[in-house]
A and B are shown apart, each in its own frame.
Chain A
Amino acid sequence: AQSVTQPDIHITVSEGASLELRCNYSYGATPYLFWYVQSPGQGLQLLLKYFSGDTLVQGIKGFEAEFKRSQSSFNLRKPSVHWSDAAEYFCAVEGAGSYQLTFGKGTKLSVIP
């Protein structure tokens, strides 16, 4: 069965600082990988996805993520955080043919002005 671990429950960064949110997955083959963001009281918005090809993927809002097969990781990064990035971030995997997303527990990001 596939699983996702986001080891950081809560991260606080200063506005303008860089950000890295960690995600590790467990799956027998290369899964499809996603990062979603959820603002308070809102639904989930897709930030970026990895299906195959280039292991560094660019997303919306200046986010990027790097797939590292050897480490089973798909960490999310942003070079300079804005106050509006404060939200909860979810990493998700979909095993090929499983048709379902398995989510991590989420990382809550707080941004200090």
Chain B
Amino acid sequence: DSGVTQTPKHLITATGQRVTLRCSPRSGDLSVYWYQQSLDQGLQFLIQYYNGEERAKGNILERFSAQQFPDLHSELNLSSLELGDSALYFCASSPSPSNEQFFGPGTRLTVL
């Protein structure tokens, strides 16, 4: 158990819908990262927050957005969902940027 929690574990929804994935980092970690794992793209970095501020952005679609709240938990919002958005979404946390990242168990999103 890494100490990073993600909810929900599984999510099934339809195309065009919007969903929110939630992540609670390890106690004391200020940085939160989001990754997408799909069969065709592999593991891809989406976005990073540090103490509430966006620090780095990867291959994140405009339909996706994220934020980190004052209590340091983070949410990833996915809207206008497409079949291709079906994937495993991981959250990771670290004490500070460029420290080792601890991954949560992931949220499996299925878009039908």
Contact = CB atoms under 8 A, between A and B. Distances in A.
A49 B102 CA distance: 12
A113 interface: no
B48 A45 contact: no
A71 interface: no
A99 B97 contact: yes
A33 to B, nearest CB: 11
A39 to B, nearest CB: 11
A34 B56 contact: no
A45 B103 contact: yes
Interface string B42-83: 111100101000011010000000000000000000000000
Interface residues of B, number: 25
Interface centre among A45, A98, A100, A102 (most CB of B within 10 A): A100
A46 B50 CA distance: 21
Interface centre among B2, B42, B97 (most CB of A within 10 A): B42
A87 B90 CA distance: 18
Interface residues of A, number: 22
Contacts of B97: 99
B56 A100 contact: yes
A40 B46 CA distance: 22
B106 A99 contact: no
B7 interface: no
B101 interface: yes
Please name the 4 residue pairs, one residue from A and one from B, whose CB atoms are nearest each other, closest first: A103-B43, A100-B45, A99-B56, A44-B103
